Chain A
Amino acid sequence: MSKAKKLSRRKFLVRGGLGTVGVLALGTYVFRNPIRRSILKMVETLPPSYMGSGTEANLWFELTQENKVIFHSPKVEMGQGSFTSFAQMIADEMDVRLDQIEVVGAATKTGIVDVLSTGGSLSVGSLWQPLRELAATMREMLKIEAAKKLSVEVSSLTTNDGVISNGLKTITYAEVAYGITEWNIPDTPELKPLSSYKFIGKPVKRIDLASKVFGDPIFGLDAEMPEMLHAAIIRPSKIGATFNSADTSKAAQMPGVVKVVQIDDWVAVVAESYAQALAAKRTIKVEWNILKEWTEKEMREMLRVGKGRLMITQKEGDAIDEEDDELVSMIFTSPIGAHAQIEPNGALADYNNGDITVVLSTQVPGKTQEFVADALGVDKDKVNIIPAYLGGGFGRRLNTNHAIQTVQLSKAVGKPVKYIFTRKEEFQNDLFRPPTHHIMKGKLGSDGLIDSLEHHYASGDVAIGAIILPGLLNDVLGTDIGAMRGGNIMYDKIPNHRAEQWHTTLPFATSWWRSLGLLANTFAVESFIDELALKAGKNPVELRLAQISKEGNQKRIYDVIQLAAEKGNYNDTPMNGRAMGFAASTDSNSPAAHVVEVSIENNQIKVHKVICAFDCGFVVNPDQVRAQCEGAIIMGMSASMFEKMTIEDGELTPTIYGPYDMALMKHAPKTIDVHFIQGADIPLPVGEPPMGPIGAAVANAVRRLTGKRLTDLPLKL
C-alpha cells in the first residue's frame, strides 16, 4: 500500500454527461496503471448506507503486472465474508478468475472509503449495483484500448480470465493497460443477467481462507514498522472516573522504558517491548476523581419503562385499557453485554513531521481520519488510515478514537508506536450493548387471536451519541434508531398494536453491538407471543401466521415463519425429554425464524438443534450467508444464555473470559440447518438479522419443557 504514495496526480480525465458523470485518474508509473475513479451519479443513487468519499479521485481498481486486479474496498473485512462477495462480483463482470483478484481495505489517502462505516450488515447490499457497474465499465475500457492496440474492432473482442481476444489475437488486461495514460470511459454497460454468472450466487470459498488458515499477519495488531516502540495507556476501572494526578516516578526507571507520557488527562508508558510497557505501567499510581460509586441497582432504577425520554415508535388502533380484566402483562430484561471480540483494540501509528500513518482494525477509517486530523491539527489529507483485517468487529470498532492517543504517543517519542488494550481494559472500556427493560401487554379477542399487543421498552444509547450519526438525526426522529431495532410489532393483523421507547443515557458508554436492539426486543416480544398462544390454547406458529398478512413485505415474514416451522417439523408438545421453541423477527428487511430443540441436562439448558429459515433477498454466496447464520445463532445463544456484565464496587465486571461466560464448543448445537427464501432480487442484510429470534426460541422451548417462563437474559433455570 505504501506504493500508493507514488501516484501521479498529473493525469486526470474528467468527463461529464452520457449517463455517468465520472472522474478518472490514472497513475502512470512503470507497468502499473492504477485507475482511480468515482462516479458521482452512482453515489447519489446508491442505497442510503453507501457513502463513499466519491468526490475525490481515488483508487477503486489497480491492475498489476501479473495481470491481477486489486480492488481497494471501501468496506472492511471483519469476518462477514464481504471481500469474497466483492471478488465474486468483480470476477463475473470484469471476466477474471477469483484467483486473479485481491481485495484490500482502502486506505484513506488512496482509496474510496465509506465515510460512515462498515456496519449494519450493509456491505454487500450497498455495493451490489455500483461495484458490478464499475467492474463492467472497467472491462469495456480495457476492450476499447485493446482494440486500438490490436487494430481490430471493439465489437470483435471477447474477454475471459483477464485476457482479451478476437479469436486470433490475444492480449492480457495488464498488457492493455501498460502505457495508457488517457482512457475512454464508455456509458455504463448493461450488466449480465443473474443466470449467466459463474461466481455470483455460488458457494465459493472465502478468498481470505488461506491467509487465515496459515497464520498470515493480516490483522491490525500484526502490523509492524521499523524502529517501532510499544505503549500501554492507563485507563480508569471505575465508572465515571476522571483523571486527577499521577505518580510516574518509578515507571521512568523501569527497564526498557523510553518515555512516560502525560497528555491532558491521560498517562502512558512507551517502552521497547509490550511486556516492559505493561510492567512499567503497573508502577504508576493514578489518583482518580470519582464523584459517585455506581451500583447495579441504581443503574437498573434509571433504566426502566416510564423513565427517560418517551417516543411512541408505532401506534395502530387503541391502547389497552389498564383496567381491562383480560389484560396480560409481563416484564422482561436483558443485561449489559460486552463485545468481547478476540483481537483487542489497538493501533500502530507513525507521526512523521505532520504526516500521519495509522494501521488498525477499525470499522470507521474515514471517521478515524477526521478525528486524528482534528486532534493533531493537521489537514485530513495528511492522515493515512490503513484498515487491516479485523479480529472481530461486531460494532465495537465503530469508534476507534484510541488511534488519536497512539498518534500522540508516536509524536511524543518520534518513532512509530504500537498500542494494545489489555483484556481488562477491553471489558471495562467497551461501548457496551445497553441493558434493557421491557413491559409487554396483551389481550386476546373472543376468537382466541391477539386483539391488542404493546411493547414498552427502555434502553440506553445505541445510536444516540454515536460518532457515525449526526446527533441531530436522533433528535429529529425523537428516538434511538438503534435501540428501536426489532422493537416494533411485525404482526400487522393484530388490530391494536403499539411500541413505546423510553430512552436513558447511562453513566457508562453503550453503543452498537451486533443486531443492536434486535436481540433483546425480539426476546421480549416473541416470548410474550408464545405466552399468549399458550393462554389461547393455540399452536404458536399458527397464531403467528393468523396475525400477519400475506402481502408485500409482510408476506416475506409469513413465508419465513411457515418455512421454518415446516423444515423444523415444529411441534408444540414436548417429547422424550425434549421440547421445541419457535420465534421469528424481521430486521432491516431480512426476516428470520428459528425452530430450536432443547433438553435440560444437569440443570442446564442444552440446545441440540436449530433450524433457521431466512430471507435476505438474493444470496451472493450461499456458503458465507450460511456461515453468518451459524455464527449469529451461536453468538446469539451466547448472549442470551450466558453473557452478563454487572456493576460491582463502582466497576464493570467481569474483566476476563471465563467469568464473562460465553458459549463454547460444548454449547454449540450439533445441528444447524439454514433454509433460504430469496424473496427479493437484490442482496439484503445478512450478518445481524438471524440473531433476532434465538433468545426467545430457546426460552419458548424451556417454557414448554418445564412450565417455567424465563423473563430475564441470560436465561437461567
Chain B
Amino acid sequence: MKIEFTINGVLQSVEIEDSNTPLLWVVRDVLNLKGTKFGCGKAACGACTLHVDDEAVRSCSYAVKFAEGKQITTIEGLGSPQDPHPVQQAWIEEVVPQCGYCQPGFMMATAALLNKKPNPSDEDIDNNIVNVCRCATYYRMRKAIHRAAELTQETNLKTQENV
C-alpha cells in the first residue's frame, strides 16, 4: 500500500507491503535517513525517537500506517551544521556525545520537551528524558538541556526584537 507523509519538510510517498512495518525501518532503510537509530525495537531505549507532528515518538514501535498525512522530523531535519537547532548547538557547546549512538534520540526527545516546556526544571528533565545512554553522558546532557532552553529563549527574544 501507499503511504504519504512529510518528512523533514519533503513530501514522501512510500510503497509498502506491510503497513504495520515500524516507521523506524521505513525511515532508515527506505528513505535512507540513518540518523534515527535502532536500539531495542520495543520502545524501551529511545534511540529511535523522532517527531510526529511535533510529538516525540519511539519509531521502532510506531506502525508506518499511522504516519499517513503527518509531519515527521528526524535528527537530519532538526538542524544542520550551518543552522543548528538550539538543542544541537547546546550539545556542541557542552560536548555531550561519547559513542554518540543514543544522542539523536535524546536530542529529539529534548527538542520535543522544550516545545512544551521552554524552561524545564530538573524535575521536568528527570520525568521526561527517559532514554537510555550506556556511555552515561547524562551529566552533560542535563547541562546541555538547560543551555538549550537558554538558547531558545535568546533566539525568541531576538526574533521578537526583529519584529
Task: Write out, one digit per residue, whether chain B residues 90-133 have a CB within 8 A of any chain A CB (1) or not (0).
Answer: 01100111111111100100000000000000100111011111
Within 8 A of B (CB), among A611-663: 623-624, 627-628, 630-635, 638, 656-658, 662-663
Instruction: Give the docked Cα–Cα distance between A631 and B138 (Å).
Output: 8
When distances are taken between beta carbons in the complex, the residues of chain A under 8 Å from B91 are 213
Task: Please tell me if B74 contacts chain A, counting CB pairs below 8 Å.
Answer: yes
**Interface size classification for chain B:** 35 or more
Q: Are B134 and A340 in contact (CB under 8 A)?
A: yes
CB distance from A397 to the nearest CB of B (A): 11
- Choose, from A384-392, A488-496, A596-604, the stretch at the interface: A384-392
When distances are taken between beta carbons in the complex, the residues of chain A under 8 Å from B129 are 665
Q: Are A423 and B99 in contact (CB under 8 A)?
A: no
When distances are taken between beta carbons in the complex, the residues of chain A under 8 Å from B34 are 215, 217, 219, 222
Q: Are A666 and B134 in contact (CB under 8 A)?
A: no
When distances are taken between beta carbons in the complex, the residues of chain A under 8 Å from B142 are 665, 668, 670
Instruction: Give the docked Cα–Cα distance between A664 and B129 (Å).
Output: 8
Instruction: Give the docked Cα–Cα distance between A343 and B79 (Å).
Output: 23
Q: A668 with B104: in contact, given A273-B21, A657-B45 (CB under 8 Å)?
A: no
Instruction: Give the docked Cα–Cα distance between A316 and B34 (Å).
Output: 56
Q: Are A630 and B140 in contact (CB under 8 A)?
A: yes
Q: A669 with B139: in contact, given A344-B39, A390-B99, A391-B100 (CB under 8 Å)?
A: yes
Q: A664 with B132: in contact, given A209-B97, A274-B29, A392-B99 (CB under 8 Å)?
A: yes
Within 8 A of B (CB), among A252-301: 255-256, 273-276, 279
Q: Name the contact of B100 in the complex, choosing from A389, A394, A623 (C-beta under 8 A).
A: A389
Q: Name the contact of B95 in the complex, choosing from A222, A224, A627, A662 (C-beta under 8 A).
A: A627
CB distance from A79 to the nearest CB of B (A): 3
Q: Are B101 and A342 in contact (CB under 8 A)?
A: yes
B interface, over-half SS: loop
Task: Please tell me if A324 contacts chain B, counting CB pairs below 8 Å.
Answer: no
A to B contact number (C-beta, < 8 Å): 178
When distances are taken between beta carbons in the complex, the residues of chain A under 8 Å from B134 are 339-342, 392, 394, 635, 662
Q: Are B44 and A656 in contact (CB under 8 A)?
A: yes
Task: Please tell me if A366 contacts chain B, counting CB pairs below 8 Å.
Answer: no
Task: Please tell me if B80 contacts chain A, counting CB pairs below 8 Å.
Answer: yes
Within 8 A of A (CB), among B14-54: 17-18, 21-22, 25, 29, 32-42, 44-45, 47
Within 8 A of B (CB), among A406-441: 420, 422-423
Q: A389 with B25: in contact, given A213-B84, A215-B34, A217-B34 (CB under 8 Å)?
A: no
When distances are taken between beta carbons in the complex, the residues of chain B under 8 Å from A213 are 84, 88, 91-92, 96-97, 103, 107
Q: Are B29 and A78 in contact (CB under 8 A)?
A: no
Q: By the criterion of a CB under 8 Å from any partner CB, how many residues of chain A are at the interface?
A: 68
Q: Are A80 and B139 in contact (CB under 8 A)?
A: no
Instruction: Give the docked Cα–Cα distance between A213 and B95 (Å).
Output: 9
Q: A275 with B21: in contact, given A214-B76, A665-B138 (CB under 8 Å)?
A: yes
CB distance from A381 to the nearest CB of B (A): 30
Within 8 A of A (CB), among B42-80: 42, 44-45, 47, 74-76, 79-80
Q: Are A78 and B99 in contact (CB under 8 A)?
A: yes
Task: Please tell me if B137 contacts chain A, counting CB pairs below 8 Å.
Answer: yes
When distances are taken between beta carbons in the complex, the residues of chain A under 8 Å from B107 are 213
Task: Please tell me if A208 contacts chain B, counting CB pairs below 8 Å.
Answer: yes
Q: Are A627 and B35 in contact (CB under 8 A)?
A: no
Instruction: Give the docked Cα–Cα distance between A391 and B137 (Å).
Output: 13
Q: Are A215 and B29 in contact (CB under 8 A)?
A: no
Closest to A629 in B: B139
Q: Are B22 and A634 in contact (CB under 8 A)?
A: no
Q: Are A217 and B101 in contact (CB under 8 A)?
A: no
Task: Please tell me if B1 contacts chain A, counting CB pairs below 8 Å.
Answer: no
When distances are taken between beta carbons in the complex, the residues of chain A under 8 Å from B18 are 255, 275-276, 279
Task: Please tell me if B81 contacts chain A, counting CB pairs below 8 Å.
Answer: yes
Instruction: Give the docked Cα–Cα distance between A342 and B47 (Å).
Output: 8
Instruction: Give the docked Cα–Cα distance between A396 and B90 (Å).
Output: 31
Q: A212 with B100: in contact, given A420-B38, A422-B41 (CB under 8 Å)?
A: yes
**19 A-B contacts (beta carbon < 8 Å):** A79-B135, A81-B98, A210-B92, A211-B100, A215-B33, A215-B34, A215-B74, A222-B34, A275-B18, A275-B21, A339-B134, A342-B45, A342-B132, A389-B100, A391-B99, A393-B99, A658-B44, A665-B129, A668-B142
Interface residues of B (CB under 8 A from A): 17-18, 21-22, 25, 29, 32-42, 44-45, 47, 74-76, 79-81, 84, 88, 91-92, 95-104, 107, 122, 125-127, 129-142
Interface residues of A (CB under 8 A from B): 78-81, 205-206, 208-219, 221-222, 224, 230, 255-256, 273-276, 279, 339-344, 389-394, 420, 422-423, 623-624, 627-628, 630-635, 638, 656-658, 662-670, 672
**Complex A-B, nearest 8 residue pairs according to Cβ-Cβ distance, in ascending order:** A215-B35, A391-B101, A79-B99, A212-B100, A79-B98, A215-B75, A634-B136, A668-B138
